[in-house]
């Protein structure tokens, strides 16, 4: 199994993704008025959920979250930071979305890379990159009793930026152009696409000629 990035760089990219996703989970817990234990649980699930799913699928067992102390401690650090330094309530929602977008960008790249390193095809690697990026956010929303952003038509596009980032990573692998600069650029691309979707209200289309007697729900 050839590694595209050095183990040290891959490790720090993973920790960075876990941290920013964990921040979004802890901030959502504050908005939902959870206690400190609930904050820690939501931070851990958000930061580690997608990576755990990826590692189980590709057979990287036991998952890194259970063998590397840094993976377990990072969500706790994020929880402590949010517990003491969270922004004013009216600004929490925006902070959640920004950190979530950052995690989405990082994990669609690292998830695709690791899946391909374990022998998956480029297409399967990109799919697993999407699952890595979106999995933690889906679990976070479910535990917070919210419909996952991934499934809501009335929320700005969520999966599309991750799909773009994962697909771009797969293309870079195919062209043997993987390096820290290109991977950073790909993560930033997915991040910016998500922020633009939030800024301009981009949404995925619903069923053609949709008919429903029920009013739209938000």
pLDDT digit string, tens, across residues 152-192? 765 668 889 999 999 999 999 999 999 889 999 999 999 99
pLDDT at 1 over 70: no
Q: How many CB atoms lie within 10 A of CB 78?
A: 27
Looking at residue 218, what is its pLDDT?
A: 44
Looking at residue 89, what is its pLDDT?
A: 47
Long-range CB pairs of 57-66 (<8 Å, 24+ gap) are: 57/115, 57/128, 57/131, 58/114, 58/115, 58/118, 58/119, 58/120, 58/128, 59/118, 60/114, 60/118, 64/14
Q: Which residue has the higher pLDDT, 9 or 159?
A: 159
pLDDT digit string, tens, across residues 86-118? 765 457 777 778 888 888 999 999 999 999 999
The pTM (predicted TM-score) of the whole model is 0.82
pLDDT at 213 over 60: no
Specify the range with the lowest mean pLDDT, choosing from 37-46, 90-99, 177-186, 203-212. Answer: 203-212
Under 8 Å between Cβ of 122 and 116: yes
Looking at residue 155, what is its pLDDT?
A: 67
CA geometry: angle 207, 211, 217, nearest 5 deg: 80
């Amino acid at each position: 199994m050839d590694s595209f990035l050095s183990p040290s760089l891959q490790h720090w990219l993973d920790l960075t993704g876990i941290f920013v996703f964990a921040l979004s989970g802890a901030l959502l817990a504050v908005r939902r008025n959870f206690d400190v234990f609930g904050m820690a649980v939501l931070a851990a699930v958000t930061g580690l959920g997608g990576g755990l799913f990826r590692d189980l699928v590709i057979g990287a067992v036991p998952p890194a979250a259970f063998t590397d102390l840094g993976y377990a401690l990072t969500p706790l650090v994020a929880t402590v930071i949010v517990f003491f330094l969270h922004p004013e309530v009216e600004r929490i929602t925006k902070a959640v979305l920004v950190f979530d977008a950052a995690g989405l960008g990082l994990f669609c790249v690292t998830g695709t890379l690791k899946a391909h390193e374990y022998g998956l095809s480029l297409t399967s690697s990109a799919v697993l990159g999407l699952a890595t990026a979106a999995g933690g956010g889906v679990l976070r929303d479910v535990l917070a009793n919210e419909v996952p952003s991934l499934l809501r038509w009335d929320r700005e596009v969520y999966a599309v930026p991750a799909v773009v980032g994962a697909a771009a990573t797969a293309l870079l692998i195919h062209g043997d152009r993987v390096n820290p600069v290109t991977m950073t650029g790909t993560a930033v691309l997915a991040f910016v696409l998500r922020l633009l979707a939030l800024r301009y209200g981009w949404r995925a289309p619903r069923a053609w000629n949709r008919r429903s007697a029920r009013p739209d729900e938000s």
